[in-house]
Amino acid sequence: MQHLEEVRNILSDVLSLGERKNQLKTDSILLGNIPELDSMAVVNVITALEDHFGITVDDDEISAETFETLGSLTRFVEQKLAG
């Protein structure tokens, strides 16, 4: 996953994770594990991903599966970039 580091940085910046950023691995659970990741934060994360990668994310593409782990979120971004 070549964009893992970028997605990790965006998550960390938007959610102000600080030192916790370093604990985020590919299989790190996001939903339910990061208290800051609520519905308001999701909007900000999606907007930041769209701006950074030049992608467009529709409302219906935002799902619990996408945000399950850092790896699943990165895979989603890479699928959008490939599409």
Partner 1 sequence: MAAIARWKTALSQMLQQWGWFNLGLFILNKFIATLSKGSWRIYRYHFVAQPVPAEALLPPRRGRNIEIRLIDEQDEVIGQFPRPAEAIKERFRQGAKCLVAFKEGQFVGFLWLLLGSYQEDEVRALYTPLPKERTAWDFDVYVEPESRLGFTFLRLWDEANHFLKHHDISWSCSRISAFNAGSLSAHARLGTVRLGSAIFFYAGRWQVTLASLSPYFHLSSYPGSFPEFRLDTRKLGKT
- Residue 2 or 21 with smaller CB distance to partner 1: 21
| Binding residue for partner 1, selected from 13, 17, 21, 41, defined by CB under 8 A | 41
81 sits near partner 1 (criterion: CB under 8 A): no
- As to burial, measured by CB atoms within 10 angstroms (0-12 exposed, 13-18 middle, 19+ buried), residue 32 is exposed
| Binding residue for partner 1, selected from 1, 29, 43, 81, defined by CB under 8 A | 43
| Binding residue for partner 1, selected from 2, 40, 82, 83, defined by CB under 8 A | 40
The residue type found at 17 is L
The tally of CA atoms less than 13 A away on the side-chain side of residue 56 is 1
Q: Which two tokens stand for residue 24?
A: 């985020």
